[in-house]
Amino acid sequence: MIPLLLIFIPVISALAAFFFKQGNAAKNWALFTSVITLVVALASLCNAKPLVYDAAWLPVLGSRFSLALDGMGKMLVLLTAISFPVVIAATYNNEYKQSNAFYGLMLLTQAGLMGVFLASDCLLFYFFWELALIPVYFLCSIWGGEKRIAVTFKFFIYTFVGSLLMLIGILYLYFLTPDHSFAIKSFYALKLSTTEQNLGFWLFFIAFAIKMPIFPFHTWQPDAYEQSPTAVTMILSGVMVKMGIFATIRWLLPIFPLATEKFGGAIIILSVIGMLYASLIAIKQDDVKRLIAYSSIAHIGLMSAAIFALKPIGLSGVLIQMFNHGINVIGLWIVADAIEQQTGSRKFSELGGLAQKAPTLTILLVVLAFANIALPLTNAFVGEFLMFNGLFQYNFWIAGIAGISIILAAVYTLNMVQKIFYGNTVALTEKAVETGSNVQWMLVVLVIVIIGFGVYPQPMIDLTKQIMP
């Protein structure tokens, strides 16, 4: 029942949230129910075996409401369950018009994300894929920044094209299954010809590449992150991009092994180009949001390259890093939001000396910055070490070139810390004060996770060994 509850609780909570009218009622409800979802996600970790749920859904189409929660799913379900209460609490003081609709859509997004990470029926997977995306479209278009309409339209076109290609791919495989079933086991059992694999591979991969996103499918991301409400940006960057990485490992690699091997080298090269390109662009940014956006593209590029290197140690690193990157980038977004709320600006050139006014926030950011550059004893170190190990096993030169991104990450991350928090105060920071306790406590929670899994990563490594039945 745990897999079902992880979807059922956010769905019911979302529907209820739409009926709240007064100020903070919907916000408090969303926070309360997201904590309940977190408790259920933590309970799933108590069972060392994969958890399954299966019920009739659309028997005439050969589709069942089939859920499975293995080690990879548990990590991403836990990330999703942690992210929503942390994001809601950290942005608690942010006000939104029609807050009931805002938090209702946020909870629907959580339900969709949970479904993506749990579905073991491909049609059900597609249903939840769309359920996660549609609320985000409305969240961005209604509560976003000044350029939200153009940016949201671009986001919609990218995701619509990707979703359409994936749906064609799903139906293509469905008609090839002997039992006309959408079950993951039926898809895994397919004996596809080379031509069938090549066609199916690209129909699925383009959809997943857009969602990650990797170069050259990344152009929607920086604008969407900049114009979205910060709470939505946190979910987009911390959790939603993991949909593409997860789907690549869960669906693409097992169904199209020959095509993966054939095209993997080209995708690795594109991923490494994207890492370096995004890192160099991040160095030139004067806006905190855009810097974090390009930093995220670089980190996702490394995960993509490690996946297609097809080395077990690299794949283990990707599984671990999906969780750790989500924790770290949400922490950075919380700091970015705190800076903007305090000063009204996100530009490095307009800020400085915040460490004198907000020392606690500065200390917490330094830990997050160290995690962003994968310093030893932070959570990101283990995942990046394993991923680079896999890349070195694949090709020494590609791994060496990709390794340049480590240096570039240190440059843009520490440059951000230095320009905003150190030096002399300026007009915008002179009257700044220490950030609110809700922000501090949420950052403390994330820092505990960062240091905890940095010092003792074994529980995460153990989860990578739990395979779907």
Q: Who has greater pLDDT, 95 or 249?
A: 249
Is residue 135 a contact partner of residue 105, using CB atoms and an 8 Å limit?
A: yes
Q: What is the mean predicted confidence (pLDDT) over 357-373?
A: 87
**Where in the chain are the domains?**
1-255, 257-469
**pLDDT, tens digit (0-9, with 9 covering 90-100), for 14-61:** 999 888 877 688 888 999 999 999 999 998 888 778 788 888 888 888
Provide the token pair at 326: 């989500």
Q: What is the mean predicted confidence (pLDDT) over 432-459?
A: 87
User: Torsions phi, psi of 431, nearest 5?
Assistant: -100, 10
Q: What is the mean predicted confidence (pLDDT) over 83-106?
A: 88
**pLDDT, tens digit (0-9, with 9 covering 90-100), for 389-410:** 999 999 889 989 988 988 998 8
Identify the pLDDT of residue 256. Answer: 92
Provide the Cα torsion 101, 103, 108, 112; round to 10°. Answer: 140
Identify the pLDDT of residue 467. Answer: 62
**pLDDT, tens digit (0-9, with 9 covering 90-100), for 117-155:** 999 999 999 999 988 888 888 888 888 777 777 777 777
Identify the pLDDT of residue 468. Answer: 53
Identify the pLDDT of residue 14. Answer: 92
Q: Which of 183-197, 345-359, 402-416, 435-449 has the lowest mean pLDDT?
A: 345-359
Q: Region of 344 please: left (phi>0), alpha (psi -120 to 50) or beta.
A: left
Q: Decide: pTM greater than 0.85.
A: yes
Provide the token pair at 102: 């805002």
Q: In angstroms, rounded to a whole number, what is the distance separating the alpha carbons of residues 269 and 394?
A: 12
Q: In angstroms, rounded to a whole number, what is the distance separating the alpha carbons of residues 462 and 385?
A: 17
